[in-house]
């Protein structure tokens, strides 16, 4: 079921074209602030279309991920489909297909606690992806422009740019809403109701309901899923956005300025008094109408300069507001680098540098829209000292130190004096000897990433 990237782009285009066809039915669209029917979209045909299924297969394989409760891996998927494709499509056609329970996986959160994921089987992931590909273009027409999470051509960086813009417009107070275990508490009946506002197709609704109620396996224990749309499947982010689109509607109707990324929602006002009033009224709406729980202890009214959003906080300079990595984000990344460069790990420099690159390239890319030149300069300097310390300790014997220092340009006498030093590892890492022999350039030649240069290249791209 493989197809080229060209086929993938073509398939994406076909869904959009089909939705713009006025003669097709089964979905609704927003037109002049009214919901109007479009005619004849057969969701069963679209979901099970060969191109759509191939595109779903490609994306599931590309996203990788662990096996579900049946143990089938991504590598097993193509072989399974070659044998069982006809049977699988027949089951989906006649409504006898039954999704398997999702596998509970717990991921540690940076600030403590765990995030509960529900990993579907690879077959279920492919079907969910096929559904999402057909549904997403419909809901993209009705989602708010202030919603950025899990949507095509939108990112956390776009959300932060909007936050900066709002601050510069004078909205200096933020209502930071925190929803408790949002993905695990979505009400199924309300979610189906919100989907049916735009899609009137019993086959599709029934299939979505099956995925919602497929249950969770925690070890060998089965738990029925009466609420929630667990994170981990391709369909879950779309369903979560459909549900919270009702919040977006209310905020828009009230004329409030907001930025939402999945279940992270910040509302921007001009006074703390207005902020507390908004927090109270929106919390009532969320708990009464959407039946989700607002974490009153974590929801706050404060300054965007102090509170963080998506790992960013704001600063203010002569040119107005700017984004930067939050203090917590800076501390966490430094702690991770400290772990990687711990001097008693006993790994090769090559592996250490690979781990640093893997961690920091993604981190810098994520925060590249922010201001962090000075922070990265400090981290570069500190990181080089950590590496010099690691190298010095790895040499261990005096003879090895003398040999390596001579290889790096010291004469015999200076190498002997340095090798016999009684200074500690960290102090030695800052000594003139190591600064002269293990220069910044030398460390880069060995493979150490220059964070400042990478940041600069990303910004100049």
C-beta of residue 177 within 8 angstroms of C-beta of residue 299 = yes
In sequence order, which residues have a C-beta less than 8 Å from that of residue 24 and are 6 or more positions away?
18, 38, 39, 40, 41
Q: What is the pLDDT of residue 351?
A: 97
- Structure pTM? 0.86
Average of per-residue pLDDT across 331-360: 96
pLDDT at 32 over 60: no
- Which pairs from 179-183 meet CB under 8 Å and 24+ separation? 179/263, 179/265, 179/286, 179/292, 179/293, 179/294, 179/295, 180/292, 180/293, 180/294, 180/295, 181/116, 181/293, 182/240, 182/263, 182/292, 183/228, 183/229, 183/230, 183/231, 183/236, 183/240, 183/263
Handedness of CA 430, 436, 438, 439 (dihedral sign): positive
**Residue pointed to by tokens 């829209």:** 369
Express each pLDDT in 209-260 by its tens digit: 999 999 999 988 999 999 999 889 999 999 999 999 999 999 999 999 999 9
Q: Could you tell me the two tokens for 76?
A: 């097993």
Degrees (nearest 5) of the Cα angle 95, 96, 100?
A: 115
Express each pLDDT in 375-430 by its tens digit: 999 999 999 999 999 999 999 999 999 999 999 999 999 999 999 999 999 999 99
Residue 16 CA to residue 27 CA, distance in Å, equals 13
pLDDT at 1 over 70: no
pLDDT band at 262 (very low <50, low <70, confident <90, very high): very high
pLDDT band at 17 (very low <50, low <70, confident <90, very high): very low
Percent of the chain with pLDDT over 90: 84
Express each pLDDT in 168-192 by its tens digit: 999 999 999 999 999 999 999 999 9
Average of per-residue pLDDT across 430-453: 96
C-beta of residue 391 within 8 angstroms of C-beta of residue 438 = yes
Class (C level, CATH) for 146-187+227-324: alpha beta
pLDDT band at 8 (very low <50, low <70, confident <90, very high): very low
pLDDT at 159 over 60: yes
Q: What is the pLDDT of residue 230?
A: 82
pLDDT band at 40 (very low <50, low <70, confident <90, very high): low
Express each pLDDT in 117-133 by its tens digit: 899 999 999 999 999 99
In sequence order, which residues have a C-beta less than 8 Å from that of residue 160 and are 6 or more positions away?
309, 310, 312, 323, 369, 370
Sequence ranges of the chain with CATH classification 3.30.70.270: 146-187+227-324
Q: What is the pLDDT of residue 116?
A: 83
């Amino acid at each position: 079921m493989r197809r080229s990237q060209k086929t993938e782009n073509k398939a994406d285009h076909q869904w959009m074209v089909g939705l713009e066809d006025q003669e097709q039915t089964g979905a609704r669209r927003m037109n002049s602030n009214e919901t109007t029917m479009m005619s004849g979209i057969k969701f069963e045909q679209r979901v099970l279309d060969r191109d759509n299924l191939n595109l779903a297969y490609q994306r599931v394989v590309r996203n990788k991920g662990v096996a579900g409760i049946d143990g089938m891996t991504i590598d097993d998927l193509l072989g399974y489909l070659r044998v069982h494709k006809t049977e699988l499509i027949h089951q989906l056609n006649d409504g006898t297909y039954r999704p398997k329970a999702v596998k509970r996986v717990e991921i540690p959160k940076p600030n403590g606690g765990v995030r509960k994921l529900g990993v579907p089987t690879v077959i279920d992931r492919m079907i969910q992806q096929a559904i999402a590909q057909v549904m997403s273009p419909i809901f993209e027409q009705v989602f708010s422009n202030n919603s950025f999470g899990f949507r095509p051509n939108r990112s956390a960086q776009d959300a932060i740019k909007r936050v900066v813009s709002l601050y510069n417009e004078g909205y200096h107070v933020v209502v930071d809403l925190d929803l408790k275990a949002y993905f695990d508490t979505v009400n199924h009946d309300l979610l189906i109701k919100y989907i049916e506002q735009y899609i009137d197709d019993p086959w599709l609704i029934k299939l979505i309901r099956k995925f919602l109620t497929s249950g969770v396996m925690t070890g060998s224990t089965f738990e029925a899923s009466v609420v929630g749309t667990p994170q981990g499947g391709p369909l879950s982010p779309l369903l979560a956005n459909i549900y919270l689109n009702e919040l977006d509607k209310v905020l828009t109707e009230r004329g409030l300025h907001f930025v939402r990324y999945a279940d992270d929602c910040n509302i921007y006002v001009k006074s703390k008094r207005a902020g507390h009033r908004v927090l109270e009224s929106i919390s009532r709406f969320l708990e009464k109408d959407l039946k989700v729980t607002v974490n009153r202890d974590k929801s706050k009214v404060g300054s965007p300069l102090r509170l963080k959003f998506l790992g960013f906080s704001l600063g203010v300079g002569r040119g107005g507001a700017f984004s930067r990595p939050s203090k917590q984000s800076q501390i966490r990344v430094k702690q991770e680098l400290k772990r990687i460069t711990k001097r008693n790990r006993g790994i090769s420099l090559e592996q250490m540098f690979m781990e640093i690159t893997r961690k920091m390239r993604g981190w810098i890319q994520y925060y590249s829209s922010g201001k962090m030149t000075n922070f990265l300069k400090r981290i570069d300097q500190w990181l080089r000292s950590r590496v010099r310390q690691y190298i010095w300790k790895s040499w261990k014997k005096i003879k090895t130190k003398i040999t390596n220092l001579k290889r790096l340009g010291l004469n015999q006498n200076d190498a002997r004096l340095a090798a016999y030093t009684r200074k500690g590892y960290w102090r030695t890492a800052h000594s003139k000897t190591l600064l002269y022999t293990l220069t910044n350039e030398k460390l880069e030649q060995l493979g150490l990433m220059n964070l400042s240069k990478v940041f600069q290249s990303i910004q100049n791209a």
